Structure 1
Amino acid sequence: MCGICCSVSFSVEHFSKDLKEDLLCNLKRRGPNSSKQLLKTDVNYQCLFSGHVLHLRGVLTAQPVEDERGNVFLWNGEVFSGVTVKAGENDTQIMFNCLSSCKNESDVLSVFSEVQGPWSFIYYQASSHYLWFGRDFFGRRSLLWHFSDVGKSFSLSSVGAQISGEDNQWQEVPASGIFRIDLKSSSTSRLLVLKLYPWRYISKENVIKEECVNTLTQIAADLPPFVSVVANEAKLYLKEPVVPLNMTLPPVPVESDVSAISNNPSTRETFQVFLTDGHMKEVVQQFIDVLSIAVKKRVLCLPRDKPLTPNESLKTHEKKANVAILFSGGIDSMVIATLADHHIPLDEPIDLLNVAFMTKEKDIPASFNKQRGRQKNCKTTKESFKNVAVAADRSDKQFNVPDRITGRAGLKELQVANPSRIWNFVEINVSLEELQRFRRTRICHLVHPLDTVLDDSIGCAVWFASRGIGCLVTPDEVKSYQSNAKVVLTGIGADEQLAGYSRHRVRFQTHGLEGLNKELKMELGRISSRNLGRDDRVIGDHGKEARFPFLDENVVSFLNSLPVWEKTNLTLPRGIGEKLILRLAAVELGLTASTFLPKRAMQFGSRIAKMENNNEKASDKCGRLQAISLENLSVEKEIKI
């Protein structure tokens, strides 16, 4: 995972050898292991490339990389399959080698059509003066663009920076395909023309399926007048990496055996009713298999210490976790944790990151505080750790939010399933003061350009959770802990594909399975702009990489191939019907109480939505995300995160 940026100038007065300080600071936080800049100057334009690497694979490869012909490459991604990357090799160099050998635009598209995994990239072809850039099909890696008011410069970057009083802010590059700009032509015309090479699905019969939506018009609507987006003349495209959603409807209405669950809807036997069906049991096992492989790729594709010898086994407690999981104890995170446990070496701990925001102050008996006196051992020299210690000392009651309760219950399930594993349940407690301070100095820049109340709540919750500063609570002590795991697994994508949100149930009740299918198709289509770019920027701010098993190409293709009634059954109660196939998979994996937990959105489970203005709607524009970046930069320098 990396922070990548390219700043292009077409006029001498805009030429610069350095990026703005706040932008450079944001990029460096994403890539703490290597930073490098490269200036390419032509008679008509200047390109300043900036790369900041989080080293996870093979030999550390500083970015940007350049070949003997002057081509330049910036890569923020992971190749999990499609393009061969051998053990010990670095995927940045492999991808650059592939691109350097391309003879035409069709070859470039072939390379990116084959890659499976999250990515965004910037590629400069010196001989043709072309600048290529884009994001993967789901938009799992952030990439933003910013155009100057007069068309004399533009920038591409993994993360931006809010500029007070400026209307023309950073925007997300749509995950609609790959874009190409002819820099030489743009420098003379002062008009930026973005050529789009869109994603297209090709069926087994070699029939190209095109969506009946005006993608070009949608993209152009948010661009300034001097920037246009056009289809490439050759009508070339990228091959979609997943099959289309199965929109089939049953010949007769699907009925549930409600009598089997009416008496006691919250027992393991409830799901056994479904698993007695041979076809359903086979489908569930296929789902477990494809999801397990997706998790395996994401937990093993990173550097590790050599396995311990039997004589060293006692030192297991000293080992550090390489993988962390955003963990609420809900069905999504429980299944991911269970599958991760199958593949991560047994002597390696797994960090479970559980975030809670302080509920409003209540009178707490003095005797209760005395009982919690042992938590005063939770000390450290770092300011953030001090905040953790204070929070821990104030009382569990103030952080006894729903996700903390289910998280602790989920921990016990995992400990029973594998008592040999060290499960680090990291209780991350956030006060109102800490929330407001870091939102102002850090999080507002990362959530940008998204700006709703929902973006604020989820962005803040994910930022504090992935930061991983909290306490490990045991029967004997509470001690400060910071997760140093570079890989953070998250369950995003499960609800969008398996009808986990309450709006899916409303849609089903009003428009039936046909309406539900359309809703699910829309959910996956908008996940890049609604969730993934924001989450990548927020998690990447800690020098960590977000990985999304539920959005693995093979997982999505498998789920897309199933008819909707094999994935979810919304005639059944909450906690059973939504994400039914995932709950059945959890039962087959040996999970118990967590299989019945209904969906609880992160902003409610962590209680961040209750901390400030309770009267806001999720879709409202959030005034708390507005910031003065230059003023905050000086404040940030004084804060040790």
Structure 2
Amino acid sequence: MCGICCSVSFSVEHFSKDLKEDLLYNLKRRGPNSGKQLLKSDVNYQCLFSGHVLHLRGVLTAQPLEDERGNVFLWNGEVFSGIKVEAEENDTQIMFNNLTTCKNESDILSLFSKVQGPWSFIYYQASSHYLWFGRDFFGRRSLLWQFSNLGKSFCLSSVGTQTSAVANQWQEVPASGIFRIDLKSAAISRCVVLKLYPWKCISKENVIEECVNSLTQISAVLPTFVLVVANEAKLYLQKPVVPLNMVLPPSIEETHYRNSSSISSTREILQIFLTDGHMKKVVQQFIHVLSVAVKRRVLYLAKDKNMAPNEVLKTCNRKANVAILFSGGIDSMVIATLADRHIPLDEPIDLLNVAFLTKKKTKPTSFNKKSKKSHCEMPSEEFSKTDAADDSSDANVPDRISGRAGLKELQAINPSRIWNFVEINVSLEELQKLRRTQICHLVQPLDTVLDDSIGCAVWFASRGIGCLVTQDEVKSYQSIAKVILTGIGADEQLAGYSRHRVRFQTLGLEGLNKEIAMELGRISTRNLGRDDRVIGDHGKEARFPFLDENVVSFLNSLPIWEKANLTLPRGVGEKLLLRLAAVELGLTASAVLPKRAMQFGSRIAKLEKNNEKASDKCGRLQIAP
């Protein structure tokens, strides 16, 4: 995870040697291990590059990188496959080495088409005055742009700043492909022309149609002095996943879509599906591909070098390198079970579980660390970390209850592992204060009630400040794990949302297929940029196993009836394939938990206005002029 930024000025009066203080502060929070700025000046323009690195693998490599020809590279990504990166190597340096050997634009597109993993980047080609930038196919890494001063300047950045000026709002760079700007030409014409190299579809007709749609949609929200055009050579990036299988069964009897209302136990329904030889094989293939995706995301992490040699074997002294956003629901349970396969046994795993307290916070009082309280309230850092609330039964929100139940399942599967169940309790006062001072600008430019709820919940969960409750004690705890696994992508691909059931009931399997295709197509704008900014604010990196290119391709290749069966009740039919995988992995009660949205499970949706709709513009995210 890194904070990357490039500020471009075409006018001498706007030249600057420094970024604005608030933007620099936000970038530094994303990359606490290294920070550097680099100024590149031409007679027509100036580029100020700023790179802030969160060190996760290989040798710590400060950014921005510059070669002997004056080319500059900023990278916020992870190469999990496609380009060879050895365990001890740094992928920023490897990517830059590959870029400097590219002879033309086709080579650059070929390079980024190969990369499997999340990324955003900024690349300056000095000899041609080109500035290249973009995000991966799913938009798993944030990149924003801001155009201002009537074409005299613009900025690209991982994260924005709070601003009330409508004309200068930050917007997400669309994950439509890679963009290129000719800086010299833009400086002379006072018109910024964005050349788009889009992701390629299967047929040539679809490519043209998709490109036109992308250009129209992007241009609609940009200032008049910014133009978006297709590249003249009609070059494209190769999509990293296979197209969605839209095949429909010749007849309903040929699928697993049969009514199982006569079966009393929901677990029994799942067991019956697993007696089908073909279905069992599909489930095992899914477990394998998802397990590999998790493995890639938990290995080769930089370890804690401050540990004394005699402490290495003392498991009680080890800190978790990996944390999981954990509700005890099916998505986080399967990820935790697979992470347990690949993380060394002497490393704990942090399970981050957040609850929002609907009662007014009472004055914190000290508690005896040896007391056997079942809950604790861990307020913000301004309170003593040994304080807890007198009455915290209010923390028994649905996700806390299912989280504790999930913890017991994981402990039964592997009792040798230290599972740190981190109870993170947030009061209304703390939510309101930190939303206003810290979270608001991270959620932006998204602005709905849903964005507010999920953005705040994920921010507090990933911060990891809470307490551990065991049979013997309650103690304050702060997760220092730099990698946070999240289950996003499972609902979108496996019909996990209630709207999928509505669509199936009204338009059948064909309508359900179209809904899933739409979900994946909009996931970059709906979720991923926001979640990357929110989690990255703690100097931590979000990783998304369900959005691994191979996982998506595998799921895309399956017919819809092998992924979900929405004739079955909630808790079984949605995400059927994942539930069958959970049973195969030895999970029990969590395999049949119905889908519960994070904003309801954590109770943040109950904290303020109960009459709001998720799609409403959220006044709490608006910045007063």
The TM-score normalised by the length of structure 1 is: 0.92
Q: Report the equivalent of 1:119.
A: 119
Partners of 2:91 and 2:359 lie apart in 1 by 48
State the identity as a percent: 79
- Tell me by how many angstroms 1:362 deviates: 11
**Is the 1:373–1:393 Cα contact (8 Å) retained in structure 2?**
no
- Tell me by how many angstroms 1:272 deviates: 1.1
Partners of 2:485 and 2:374 lie apart in 1 by 31
Partners of 1:492 and 1:387 lie apart in 2 by 33
Superposition map of 1:142-291 within 5 A: 142-202=142-202, 209-210=206-207, 212-213=209-210, 214-254=213-253, 262-267=262-267, 269-291=268-290
2:502 to 506, 509, 512: 506
Q: Report the equivalent of 1:633.
A: none
Q: Report the equivalent of 1:454.
A: 450
**Residue identity in the other structure for 1:439:** R
1:5 matched to 2:1? The reply is no
**Is the 1:346–1:421 Cα contact (8 Å) retained in structure 2?**
yes
RMSD (Å), alpha carbons? 2.4
**Is the 1:377–1:479 Cα contact (8 Å) retained in structure 2?**
no
Q: Report the equivalent of 1:300.
A: 299
Partners of 2:326 and 2:488 lie apart in 1 by 12
Per-residue CA deviations over 1:252-271 (Å, capped at 9, x if unaligned) read 0156586755342333x221
Per-residue CA deviations over 1:166-216 (Å, capped at 9, x if unaligned) read 43200000000000000000000000000000000358xxx7852744111
**Residue identity in the other structure for 2:455:** G
**Residue identity in the other structure for 2:583:** V
1:324 matched to 2:320? The reply is no
Check 1:96–1:370 CA distance in 2 against 1; reply closer, same or farther (3 A cut).
Answer: closer
- Tell me by how many angstroms 1:511 deviates: 0.3
**Residue identity in the other structure for 2:593:** L
Q: Report the equivalent of 1:638.
A: none
1:616 matched to 2:615? The reply is no
1:584 to 580, 583, 597: 580
**Is the 1:200–1:208 Cα contact (8 Å) retained in structure 2?**
no
Partners of 1:591 and 1:75 lie apart in 2 by 39
- Tell me by how many angstroms 1:477 deviates: 1.1
Q: Report the equivalent of 2:466.
A: 470
**Is the 1:119–1:140 Cα contact (8 Å) retained in structure 2?**
yes
1:58 matched to 2:58? The reply is yes
**Residue identity in the other structure for 1:276:** T
Q: Report the equivalent of 1:93.
A: 93
Q: Report the equivalent of 2:532.
A: 536
Deviates more, 1:103-112 or 1:159-168: 159-168
Partners of 1:231 and 1:188 lie apart in 2 by 21
1:386 matched to 2:396? The reply is no
Q: Report the equivalent of 1:366.
A: none
Partners of 2:209 and 2:262 lie apart in 1 by 44
**Residue identity in the other structure for 2:328:** G
Partners of 1:300 and 1:609 lie apart in 2 by 36
**Residue identity in the other structure for 1:612:** E
Partners of 1:316 and 1:338 lie apart in 2 by 20
Partners of 2:8 and 2:553 lie apart in 1 by 38
Partners of 1:148 and 1:309 lie apart in 2 by 52
Give structure 2 stretches of 5+ with no counterpart.
Answer: none
Aligned residues: 617
Partners of 2:309 and 2:250 lie apart in 1 by 60
Q: Report the equivalent of 1:20.
A: 20
**Is the 1:379–1:386 Cα contact (8 Å) retained in structure 2?**
no
**Is the 2:422–2:468 Cα contact (8 Å) retained in structure 1?**
yes
- Tell me by how many angstroms 1:162 deviates: 1.7
**Is the 2:361–2:389 Cα contact (8 Å) retained in structure 1?**
no
**Is the 2:399–2:602 Cα contact (8 Å) retained in structure 1?**
yes
**Secondary structure, counterpart of 1:229 in structure 2:** strand
Q: Report the equivalent of 2:520.
A: 524
Check 1:621–1:371 CA distance in 2 against 1; reply closer, same or farther (3 A cut).
Answer: same
- Tell me by how many angstroms 1:301 deviates: 3.3
Check 1:385–1:291 CA distance in 2 against 1; reply closer, same or farther (3 A cut).
Answer: farther
Partners of 2:360 and 2:124 lie apart in 1 by 55
**Secondary structure, counterpart of 2:359 in structure 1:** coil
**Is the 1:27–1:159 Cα contact (8 Å) retained in structure 2?**
yes
Partners of 1:362 and 1:437 lie apart in 2 by 14
